Amino acid sequence: AYTQGELFDDIYVKAPRSHPLPKGVVYKLRRPLYGTKQAGRCWYVHVTKTLRAIGLTQLAKDSCLFVKKNSDKPFLIISVLVDDLLILAQDNEIVERFHTEFSDTYNIIDPFH
């Protein structure tokens, strides 16, 4: 998940021992990398934009909860937990619709599909 975010700053890393580079040469990351300080934040910002784009509202009291309402009743609730999502809905059709919309942006690993 973290590698699907977007970097906000330039980040440079040393080459691994298995891929030596000439002295003084480093890699510039194009995507967040697991283990970097910025990776979690980059992922969170990216997934938040995606959830908002597909019609979910982020709660002010808990920024990791997103709700999609229908007639003033929440019918879809998404909880972002690090790089996992917990999906709560009134029926399976709503979950399937969300899965389809979300998978347009992300490569999803879902044991139920």
Per-residue pLDDT reduced to its tens digit, 15-66: 778 887 888 888 777 666 666 676 667 778 888 999 999 999 999 999 999 9
Half-sphere exposure of 105 (CA within 13 A, CB side): 18
Q: Is the pTM of this model over 0.75?
A: no
The mean pLDDT of 60-73, rounded to a whole number, is 85
Both structure tokens of 15 = 């080459």
Q: How confident is the model at residue 94 (pLDDT cuts 50, 70, 90)?
A: confident
Q: Looking at this protein, which amino acid is placed at residue 62?
A: D
Percent of the chain with pLDDT over 70: 74
What whole-number distance in Å separates Cα of residue 56 and Cα of residue 22?
48
What whole-number distance in Å separates Cα of residue 27 and Cα of residue 73?
49
Residue 5, helix vs strand vs coil: coil
